[in-house]
Every structure is written in C-alpha cells, then in structure tokens.
Amino acid sequence: MTYEPEVRERLERDAKEIIGRYPKPRSALLPLLHLVQSVDGHITEHGIEFCAEQLGITAAQVTGVATFYTQYKHAPVGEYHVGVCINTLCAVMGGDQIWAELSEHAGVGHDEATPDGKVSLERIECNAACDFAPVMMVNWEFFDNMTPAKAKQLVDDLRAGKEVLPSRGPNKLSRWKEASRVLAGFPDGLAHEGVQAGPESLVGLKLANERGWTAPSADVDRERPDEPVKAGEVSDPPPNEPGKPIGGDVKPGSQEGRNQ
Ligand code: FES
C-alpha cells in the first residue's frame, strides 16, 4: 500500500518544509514521523518508507527510531488517546487505581483502542505535572487532579462525542491526527489559549517573589548553606569564554561541573 497521489504530494510539500528547518535532513526524522502519523494515525510501513526516502536513510534506521519512542504508535489508536500517569508520584496519589478501574471500565488494556475507535488507553510515565497528580492526558493535553470516577466520566464523554476541555491549555481538545500534526511542527494557533501554568506550579515562584529569594549561584560561598538565599546574596556566574567549557577548565573524563 502507498499514499494516494494527492496525499503524497501534500506530504512531500510538508516534509520539505520540515527538513528545511534543520542543517542536516536526517535531523528532521522525529517531526517527520509525527507528520506521517498525522495522516495514517499510526506508523505504517509506507510511512516508514516515505520518511526514509525523504531523508536519504534506510527504512531500518527509521524503524529503529520509531520503535524507540512511545509517542509513535504501531497500531491504530483512538480518536482520543488517553494516558494515565502511573509514574511514582501519580501512582501513590491514585494513578494506579485510576488505571485499574479505567481499563476495566473501557474494556481495553495498554495501547489498545475501544471497538468504536473513539478512545485508546496508555499507561504513561511522568508528564512533568506532578504538582497536579494524579494526572491524565488526552492527545497530550492535561487533565489534572483526577480520580477514578472523573477518569471514567472523561472516557464516557469522549466516546459519546460530548465536548471535553483540558484542565490547562487550549479551549479545545484536538483529535489524535490533529495533535500529531502540531507535533510535526505545524502549529494550530492554540498554544497560548487557556490556562497556562496552574496555581500549583506557581506557588514556589510566588513565595520566592514575596520573600525576595533567588536561585543560588553555583559559586556562592555561604556560611550557612541551609538557610534560604536572600536577594543580593548571589552573583552572576562569570561569562563563559568562547572555546572553553562552562565552569572553566575541566580535565578530560572529570565529573567536575556536572549535575550529580
Ligand atoms: S508522576 Fe505523574 S506527572 Fe509526574
């Protein structure tokens, strides 16, 4: 199977635009995989061949990348792909329970879709939204502070075609293929819509502003390192000299200067 001529023509036009954003064509592989996923819904054999042809690499190389990242799907997913975070913080806050009840309620397991093709489920790892745990995602939009009951209602509403809005982000929930096109690098213009950083994420910043705290600099030499750093107590790090590593001369193989 291959693409219809008009689909292929559109894909080639989009692929050319994506590839033009990178110094080397092969660097465009990740967005190109999202692009073919935005057409096929998942990574197909002809999608892999298309990427390989456009980038001048082998199908095996494309497959190696496409099978490494979990955002690329190798079987059809639902119009709405629903992720339940089961990573540590969400799990202890109820994510494991949500997954167990939701999976039973929908009658599908990990990376499986409901027979109507409306919804698929995935156990996902940390979404960097632990302050809203337990978190779920639908087509990569956030649903915060979930419970098993809210999760089941969410999936029921999606399957019934009711309007569902994420807790943060745009005032519209894109379908899977639309979201894949955005990930390919074609914005839908919704990135700045709706709630951005939620109040929970801003608590630390608010406290720091109120108390005049700033982040400590790496070279600050303080008598009482456990006490909060006060404004004016830190100095900007020295500018990095061109051609020298950040942090000064570091011996080859040294771990000095790395985050441990
Ligand atoms: S553990 Fe779920 S968002 Fe971090």
- Is the CB–ligand 1 distance for residue 93 below 6 Å? no
Which region among 44-53, 62-71, 195-204 has the lowest average model confidence (pLDDT)?
195-204
Confirm whether pTM is higher than 0.85: no
Write down the H helix ranges in the chain: 5-19, 29-40, 45-55, 59-66, 88-90, 96-106, 148-160, 176-183, 199-211
- Is the CB–ligand 1 distance for residue 201 below 6 Å? no
- Is the CB–ligand 1 distance for residue 133 below 6 Å? yes
The structural domains of the chain, ordered by start, are 5-66 (1.10.10), 80-175 (3.40.30.10), 199-235 (no CATH)
Identify the DSSP state of 84.
E
For residue range 166-215, what is the model confidence (pLDDT) as tens digits?
A: 999 898 899 999 999 999 999 999 888 888 888 888 999 999 999 999 88
| Three-class SS state of 240 | coil
- Residue 51's pLDDT band (cuts 50, 70, 90): very high
Mutation test residue for ligand 1: of 99, 135, 141, the one with most atoms within 8 Å of CB: 135
- Is the CB–ligand 1 distance for residue 89 below 6 Å? yes
Q: Is the dihedral of CA 149, 155, 160, 165 positive or negative?
A: positive
For the CA of 127, the closest atom of ligand 1 is 3
- Is the CB–ligand 1 distance for residue 86 below 6 Å? no
Is the model's pLDDT at 100 over the cut of 70?
Answer: yes
Is the model's pLDDT at 87 over the cut of 70?
Answer: yes
For residue range 244-255, what is the model confidence (pLDDT) as tens digits?
A: 544 444 444 444
- For 246, the token pair is 């950040």
- Is the CB–ligand 1 distance for residue 126 below 6 Å? yes
